[in-house]
Amino acid sequence: MREFNGVAGQVDGGRLWRRLMQMAEIGAIPGNGVNRQALSEEDIAARELLIDWARRRGYAVAVDEAANLFVRRPGSEPDLPPVLTGSHMDSQPRGGRFDGIYGVIAGLEAIEALDDAGTATRRPIELVAWTNEEGSRFDPGCMGSMVFSGTAPLERFEDAVDTDGISFGRALSRTLGATPDLPRRRETIPPAAYVEAHIEQGPVLEAAEVTIGAVTGVQGSQRFVVEVDGATAHAGTTPVRGRRDALQAALRAVARLNETMADPNDVLRFTVGRFEVEPNSPNTVPSRVRFSIDLRHPDGWELDRRARRIPRVCENAALPCSVRISRTFDQRPVAFESGIVETIERSAAAIDQPSLRIPSGANHDAAFVAKVSPTAMIFIPCLRGVSHHESEYASPEDCAAGARVLAETVRTLADS
């Protein structure tokens, strides 16, 4: 086993892995997956476990109005803006054991390694766990980091409801109420820098056989909800000709959207991930269909050009049914701060760890934090690039390597 000195040498890969596996028990589902959706009882349990780990090391823990959780390691100059690291703890309904949570636990490992190395830093270092990055229970995602970065007020999200009709505002109150002793952070402290460690969720690093990705930015993404309104009717007595069948109309709209979003270069990402039918009865003509659109492209102009075509395509295809379309999410393409990317590359080189510059196809809270702070990300490979699936996997060695580079990076930034 290769020896490391300094902060990297204090990163305890075994502790990191044990914590990842302990967190994976919260919301565990068959196939080594997790279902730990935002502000659920499982998310609350994960928060309580993180708070317990942090308090055992004497770190101060606080929470803001959006339930973003902050763990603070003091600096020798406490009034300086902190260096921030972290990610999210919420998962997809059939998520993996690494998406998001790896960056939170790697961030905790990095600050503990600094302590274990007896290394003081000028700046405080804060670990953050963002609320609702995934947006699968409450649409859209990145609510916590959007509030933190001033992208949207919390009020905009409070009425979002999950499939059980529970509002985000109600679930947020439940979550904040579960940790009543946490000091409430009233104003945002703009960080001096933000570095997020995350699995790549794609195949590039694995194919290149490189463990560390120095992430250069995040492609743009927009989300829409399309509502198709028709009329219920008896499946046996109603002639097909006279129907306003919302399901058939929605299928025509999706088929036409597939044509509209075709890209011979396979750069554009168009996904319909959710499809809800009302009244969802086999012998009743559907009266309403709601379906989601997730649209992504690294070029903001092209993304907008394609997005602008959605309403007309849906309206024409759905006739004689009517269509209502709302855009629930608009995240512009982001280029990360080159100085932070270079710091990540230098940190990797300092521990003889090859790195590769890579753009992110997946969206991350870092895309919003970049609005208020110099920001970049560190990727580690995941098996076959698979994510948002129970079989998502990153090796203990790669998890530890990412945490070592993160520890070196936040140390450097916290002394800048």
Q: Which residues contribute to the site for ligand HGY (CB under 6 A)?
A: 133-134, 141, 201, 362-363
Give the separation between CA 289 and CA 295, rounded to whole angstroms.
19
Q: Which is nearer to ligand HGY, 43 or 134 (CB)?
A: 134
Instruction: Check binding of 162 to Mn ion (CB under 5 A).
Output: no
Q: Which is nearer to Mn ion, 391 or 416 (CB)?
A: 391
CB of 179 to Mn ion, least distance (A): 23
CB of 201 to ligand HGY, least distance (A): 6
CA distances from 252 to 283, 291, 309, 322 (A): 21, 13, 15, 13
Give the separation between CA 380 and CA 54, rounded to whole angstroms.
24
CB of 362 to ligand HGY, least distance (A): 4
Is 60 exposed, middle or buried (CB count within 10 Å of its CB: 0-12, 13-18, 19+)? Answer: middle
Encoded one letter per residue, x for contact with Mn ion by CB under 5 A and - for no contact, window 67-106 reads: --------------------------------xx------
**If binding means CB under 5 A, how many residues of this protein chain bind Mn ion?**
2
Q: Are the beta carbons of 195 and 126 closer than 8 angstroms?
A: no
Residue 141 binding result from Mn ion, ligand HGY, none, given CB thresholds of 5 to 8 Å by partner type? ligand HGY
Q: Which is nearer to ligand HGY, 59 or 98 (CB)?
A: 98
Q: Which is nearer to ligand HGY, 114 or 295 (CB)?
A: 295
CB of 99 to ligand HGY, least distance (A): 6
| Angle at alpha carbon of residue 115, lines to 111 and 120, rounded to 5° | 95
φ, ψ of residue 152 in degrees (nearest 5) = -150, 145
Q: Which is nearer to Mn ion, 93 or 396 (CB)?
A: 93
Closest by Cα among 416, 413, 410 to 103: 410
Is 165 exposed, middle or buried (CB count within 10 Å of its CB: 0-12, 13-18, 19+)? Answer: exposed
Residue 363 binding result from ligand HGY, Mn ion, none, given CB thresholds of 5 to 8 Å by partner type? ligand HGY
Q: Which is nearer to ligand HGY, 82 or 140 (CB)?
A: 140
Which tokens hold the place of 292?
């989601």
277 strand-pairing partners? 289
Residue 374 binding result from Mn ion, ligand HGY, none, given CB thresholds of 5 to 8 Å by partner type? none
**Residues in the site for Mn ion, rule: CB under 5 A?**
99-100
